[in-house]
Structure 1
Amino acid sequence: MSFKKMMLALVFGSILTLSQTHAQEWQTNFEKAKTLAQKEKQHIVLVFQGSDWCTPCIKLDREIWSSPEFQELAKGHFVMLKADFPRKQKNKLPADQEAHNKALAAKYNPNGYFPFVVVLDASGKKLGETGYEKIPPKAYFNKLNAF
């Protein structure tokens, strides 16, 4: 392998590693999220969203969840759990995931608000709730952490 190819492989490998370490790991299974939260002694942030139709949901994702600042703050504090309710056929969830999300909504979001963010303890007890707010990622983290 030439020096140039080795350097390219090294650079691309480093970029891939960096992107993976900063990506927010979202859970989609409540039981798995509770197990992780109990193991790590963390709270669960349950996010009800309509990823392909709800403008405030998309803003919350872009401005808060996807921000490197929030991701760094949340690491070690929260297990992130997503309950998505897409409407477009191309984004349709598998039937079992759709049923799982509907069951979570029946328990934690009976009024059907979007986006709706619920902070839970590791056993699933509700500690607080909020929605979209146009505030910096650190302020949003502090709000969630205060519950």
Structure 2
Amino acid sequence: MVYVASRAAVIRGRRRRTAPPPSRTASRLRVSAVACGPPPRCPGCRSRARRVHSTYERGLAERPLTGQKLQIGLRVRRFFCDRSSCRRRTFVEQVDGLSERYQRSSFGTRQWLRAVAVELGGRAGEFAAFPPSGEGLGAAAA
């Protein structure tokens, strides 16, 4: 689950976190979101996490919205894996349909760019998505 708000609060235990309002500049829109679902399972041993290690914000590029670049600032939690037989000591929660490990763009953006490349094919698709001027379809994902 992802929580997106302008000034609403997420209450977890005794901590209260607030998401800042969306910020808008001339060419981009930034939205802040907080992942607040149940603790995930460790990708190594599939045991349910119980302890939070820390939190940090990931920047994800998303498809353009009203002709502007859209950047998602997603605050995620890093968890401890308490199982002694597991090689992983910590891992980060992923939001289904939005974030994946080691990615800086959303799942939807990658599908969108893949569809452009398939439709236009080869070099033409690459040029439409990432032209030398930086004004193409993929300018929002960069």
TM range (shorter): under 0.3
Quick check: which one's helix share is greater?
A: 1
Quick check: which one's strand share is greater?
A: 2
Specify which structure has the bigger relative contact order, considering alpha-carbon pairs within 8 angstroms and separated by 6 or more residues.
1
